[in-house]
Amino acid sequence: MWNSNDTRPRVMTYVRRDPRLLADQIRPFETRDILWITVNGMTIVNFYRQNDEKDALNTLLRWPVPERCLVAGDFNARHHSWQTGQATNRGQEIADWTSENDLNLLNTLDIPTNPHGNTIDLAFTNLPLAEATVEDHLATSSDHFTLSLTFPDIRSTPMQPAKIRVKTEDELKRFVEIVELGATEIPLTDSTPVELDELASSLVSLLTSAAKAAGRPARKGGRPAPWWTEECACAAAGFRAIRRSYPCGFNQDVQIAKRDFHRVVRRAKRQYWRNLIDNFSSSSAVFKAVRWLKSPGAFQPPPLQVDNVVYETQMDKANALRQATLERRTAGDDIANAWTPVSPSTLIPFSPRVSLDEAQYEAHPLAGRTRPRRPPDRPTYHDLIKRRYQIQTRSVFRTRLRRTDELLAPCERPKLVQRCFHQEQMPPLQMASKEKSTGAFLHWVERLDPLTLVVYSDGSLSSEGAASYGFTIHQNNVPIFDGSGRLGPAEVFDAEATGALEGLKAALNLQGSAAQTIFICLDNLAAATCLRGTPSDSSQDVFLEFQALAASHGATQVLWVPGHSSIPGNEQADKLAKAASSLLEPEGAQPTLAYLRRIARQKPKEAFETWWSTSAPEQYKRLNLKATTGCPPELTLPRAALHHLLAARSLHGDFAAYHERFDHGDARLVCSCGRRKAPDHIFYCRKVPQRHRMRLAPSPNAAVNLAIGRDFTKFIDLSKDSAFFGKICPRY
C-alpha cells in the first residue's frame, strides 16, 4: 500500500478484458519499479529504471527467469547490442544477464525509442518468433515512443460458456416441454449418497440442455451515454485523428481539437438535460431521471467492524462511525484554560513609581548630551565616498571587468526602475496570426471615429549599420503629418522606441489633440511591450518619457500591427525610416546599450576569426574550417568516429609518418592492401568496396579536403559503411 510520491508504483500494466485471457499478478520482490504478471502461462515483466537508481536493476538481475518470459521497459542504459557507442549506465551488466538467461533482444539496432535519438526502451524474451516495432506515430503524450510487441504462439484459455436467457412465452413453453420429456429418464432411487449425486447431476444436465435448446445466449454490450450524439462522435473521431498525426501530443492543433471536442460534449450534455427537465410531468419522472430508486447492485460495500462488533447496514455503520470518531471525547477531556502558554513569559519587575533622583536627572538642562539618540531613518553617506570610487587613478589595479569595459564606448547608464503593473488586465498585443491580424486591423481602422489620431512608427537599420526612424500621423485614414530622423550607434529596437516617442510628441502638438484618442501603432512586438509595460534598459529614457507623455494625455494606447502586410500607414512609416538612414549622424550621440551588447558579442568572434586565419596550422588551413567559439557540430559524433576524424585533420594518429617520426618500433605501418597508412588512404584503398567509394571530383585534393573538413559526414559514412578502421586497416 503506497501513501506518498516516494512509495507510489511507477509501472502499470493493463490487460484487456477477454474470457480467453487469464491474468494474475505475482510478487517475487517488494519493489515499486517492477511489475510481474502471468497471462495464459506467460510471464510478463514491466520494468522501469531511473537514471541514477540501482535498486530496481539489482532486483531484476537476481530474479530467476522462467520459461515463456518477456521483460520490457525503460532501462536507461546503452550497449552496442542496441545502440552504437560505448556502454553506459551498467549496459554491459544487462547484456551479460540476458545472455546468461537465454533472453533475446527484440529491438532493432540503432532504432531510437525517444525523440532525443536514444534506444533506452528495451524488450527481451525467450519466446520464438517474437517481434518488436517502434510505433513512433502513436501519440502517448510522453517523450517515449510506443514499443509494439507481437507473440504469435500465445495459448488462449478455453471460452467460458455464456449465460442462457429464457424470457419469452414461447421459450418458456419450449423449456417446459423439454424438461417434461427428459424427466422420465432421471433415476428415482436416492437412498445412498452416490445415488443422490447421480440424481443431482442428471437434474443439472437436464435443465442445462433444456435451457440451451429453448433459450438464447445472453449478449452483453455497452451502451453509450444518453447525451452522446452524432456530433460528439464526429468530434471525438477528429480529435483522435489529429492526435495520431502528432506523436508528442503538445501541438497547438491538438490543443484546439481537444478544446473543440470538450465544447461539443458540454453542449450536448447541456441540451440533453434541458430537454429532460422540460419534459418532467410528475414526481415519478424526476425520481426515474436521477435514479434515486435504482437498485444498489449485487456488490454491496463490506461490513464495518468496531470493537469486535460487526455492522452491515448503512445506518448502523454511520452510527458506529459517529460514536467512534465524534463522540469518543467529552467536555471532561478538554484542556483546562487552553490559552495558558506552556512556558510563561518572565517579566522584568520595573517599579511603576519614579524616584526623585530620576526626575531631577531628566529635568537637568545638560541631560540631553548623554541621552541615547534615535538612529536615522535611512543610512547617510557623505558624497565624497561616492566620488572616491568614481575617480579613475592610474595607480589603482584595473580588474578584468574594468579592462573589458574600456574596450567599449560609454553609454547612458540605465536606472533601476520598478516593474510596471496595470490596475486592470491588459489585452495581449498579438492575439492571432499575421494574416488574420492584418485583416482585423484594417477592419478596425475603418470603424474608428473620424477625429481619432493614429500614429504609425517604424525603425530601420541599413546595411552600413545606420539606425533611423520614421512616423506618420493619420486622421480618418488620411495622412496629416509625418517625420523622420537618424540616430547614433543604435539598433532597430532603439529606433522603434524613438519613432514612437517622436510620433507621440508630434501628435500632441497638433491642434485639438488633447481631447482626441491617440493610437501608437508599430510592428515591433518587443518595443510595443516595453512602451506600455516595464521599460527596457536600452533607450530607457525614451521609454520613460513616452510613458510620462502618455499618462499626462490619458487617452494614449499602444497597438501592434503586422509589418510588411500592405497596411498603408505602416508601409509609409517604413519608407520614411529607410530614407532617413542617409541623413548625417547626430553629433555627440552616445551608443545605446543594445548596440554595445551586439558589439560585445561580435568583437570576440571577429578577434577569434582573425587569430585563427593567421595562427592556424598548415594542415588546418587547407581544410578551410570555419572558426567558431561555440560547440562545433563534430562533437555530436560518437567518440570512436571523432577520434579518426581528428586524427585525419591533425595528422597525429595511426599513420606511417607519425610512427616513424616518434620511433614506434612495434607499430603497423602498412594497410592490409599493402600501401602505407596515411590520413587520405581511406579514399584510395583498393579494398574499400566500389559501392562505398566516394567520387573525387572536381579534383582529388579538393574532394579529400572537403570530406575531412567541412563536409565531414562523407568521411564518417565512408569509414562506417566500409568498416575501414575495424577490418580493412586495423591498428594492430
Inter-residue contact 73 to 39 (CB < 8 Å): no
Q: Which pLDDT score is estimated for 501?
A: 95
Contact status, residue 554 vs residue 429, Cβ threshold 8 Å: no
Asked which of 538, 564, 597 is the last residue of a domain, the reply is 597
Count of domains for the chain:
5
Helix axis angle, 492-508 relative to 568-579, nearest 10°?
110
Radius of gyration of the chain (CA): 43
Look at residue 415 and tell me if it is in a domain. no
**pLDDT at res. 373:** 61
Supply φ then ψ for residue 286, to 5 degrees: -65, -45
**Domain contains 439:** yes
pLDDT in tens, 374-400: 655 555 556 676 666 666 655 567 788
Determine the pLDDT at residue 704: 92
**CA–CA–CA angle 596, 536, 435 (5° rounding):** 105
Give yes or no: residues 453 and 583 share one domain.
yes
What pLDDT is attached to residue 248?
59
pTM for this prediction: 0.43
Q: Are 558 and 532 in contact (CB under 8 A)?
A: yes
Give a yes or no: residue 300 inside a domain: no
**Torsion, Cα of 251, 257, 263, 266 (10° steps):** -100
For residue 263, give Cα distances in angstroms to 231, 232, 257.
11, 10, 10
Residues 270 and 192 grouped into a single domain: no
Rounded distance between C-alpha atoms, residue 270 and residue 272, angstroms: 6
Q: Same domain, yes or no, for 181 and 86?
A: no
Q: In whole angstroms, give the CA distance from residue 79 to residue 94.
A: 9
Confirm whether 665 is domain-assigned: yes
Per DSSP, the residues of 256-308 read: HHHHHHHHHHHHHHHHHHHHHHHT--SHHHHHHHHTTT----S-PPPPEEETT
Residue 222: per-residue pLDDT = 60
Residue 503 and residue 577 in one domain:
yes
CATH code for the domain of 45: 3.60.10.10
Domain boundary among 240, 258, 277: 277
User: Both 587 and 444 in a single domain?
Assistant: yes
Same domain, 449 and 587: yes
Q: Are 716 and 692 in contact (CB under 8 A)?
A: no
d(Cα 48, Cα 73) in Å, to the nearest integer? 6
Does residue 559 share a domain with residue 485?
Answer: yes
Residue 261: per-residue pLDDT: 93
Same domain as 133, residue 174: no
> Is residue 138 one of the residues assigned to a domain?
yes
Please tell me whether residues 593 and 446 are part of one structural domain: yes
Question: What CATH number should be reported for the domain holding residue 493?
Answer: 3.30.420.10
Do 571 and 536 belong to one domain? yes
Q: Are residues 43 and 66 in the same domain?
A: yes
CA 584 to chain centre: 50
For residue 346, the model assigns a pLDDT of 76
| pLDDT for res 265 | 94
Q: What is the pLDDT of residue 295?
A: 58
Last residue of a domain, one of 597, 631, 665: 597
Give 10-residue mean pLDDT values along the chain (732 residues): 76 86 86 90 91 85 91 92 88 91 90 87 90 81 85 64 78 87 78 82 87 77 80 90 72 85 94 88 76 58 81 86 77 72 75 80 74 59 65 68 83 79 69 87 90 94 93 93 93 94 93 88 92 89 93 91 90 94 89 91 88 87 84 92 94 93 92 94 93 88 92 94 93 84
Residue 302 lies in a domain: no
Is the same domain home to 77 and 182?
Answer: no
Asked whether residue 610 is assigned to any structural domain, the reply reads no
Give the per-residue SS3 of 1-15.
Answer: CCCCCCCCCCCCCCC
Domain that holds residue 209: 164-217
Inside any domain, residue 345: no
Residues 677 and 670 sit within 8 Å (Cβ to Cβ): yes
DSSP at 113: S
